[in-house]
A = this chain, B = another copy of it.
Amino acid sequence: MKSIIFDIQKTDGDARLGSITTSHGVFETPAFMPVATQGSVKTLSPYELKKIGVQILLSNAYHLALRPGIDVIETIGGLHRFMGWEGPILTDSGGFQTFSLGRLHKFSDEGVSFRSHIDGSEHFLTPEMCISYQERLGVDIAMVLDQCPPHELDKTLMRQALNRTHQWAARSKQVDKPDGPAMFGIVQGGLSIALRKESAEFLVPLDFDGYALGGLSVGEPKAEMYEMVQLVHEMLPLNKPRYLMGVGSPEDIVVCIGYGIDMFDSTLPTRVARHGGLLTSLGRLNLLGSRFEMDENPIEDECNCHTCQGFSRAYIHHLFKAREFLAYRLASIHNLSFMGRLIDDIKKAIKEGKFHEFKEEFIAHYRSTNEEVRLMQRRKWVRSYRYKD
Contacts and interface: CB of A to CB of B under 8 A. Distances in A.
A312 B82 contact: yes
A11 interface: no
Interface string A28-50: 00000000001110111111000
A325 B333 CA distance: 14
Most chain B beta-carbon contacts within 10 A, residue among A39, A47, A328:
A39
A40 B310 CA distance: 14
7 contacts: A39-B315, A43-B326, A67-B318, A68-B293, A68-B321, A72-B294, A325-B328
Nearest to A43: B325
Interface in A294-339: 294, 296, 306, 310-312, 314-315, 317-319, 321-322, 324-326, 328-330
A325 B77 CA distance: 23
User: How many copies of this kind of chain does the complex include?
Assistant: 2
A221 interface: no
Given A39-B318, A43-B326, A329-B45, A75 B310 contact: no
Nearest to A44: B326
A306 to B, nearest CB: 7
A47 B328 CA distance: 16
A83 interface: yes
B312 A76 contact: yes
Interface of A: 38-40, 42-47, 67-68, 71-72, 75-77, 82-84, 293-294, 296, 306, 310-312, 314-315, 317-319, 321-322, 324-326, 328-330
Nearest to A319: B40
A37 to B, nearest CB: 9
Contacts of A39: 315, 318-319, 322, 324
Given A40-B319, A40-B324, A47-B310, 12 more contacts: A38-B318, A39-B315, A39-B318, A45-B326, A47-B306, A67-B322, A68-B318, A72-B293, A76-B314, A77-B296, A83-B315, A325-B329
A312 B329 CA distance: 22
Nearest to A45: B326
A40 B330 CA distance: 12
Nearest to A48: B45
B68 A311 contact: no
Contacts of A294: 71-72, 75-76
Contacts of A314: 68, 72, 75-76, 82
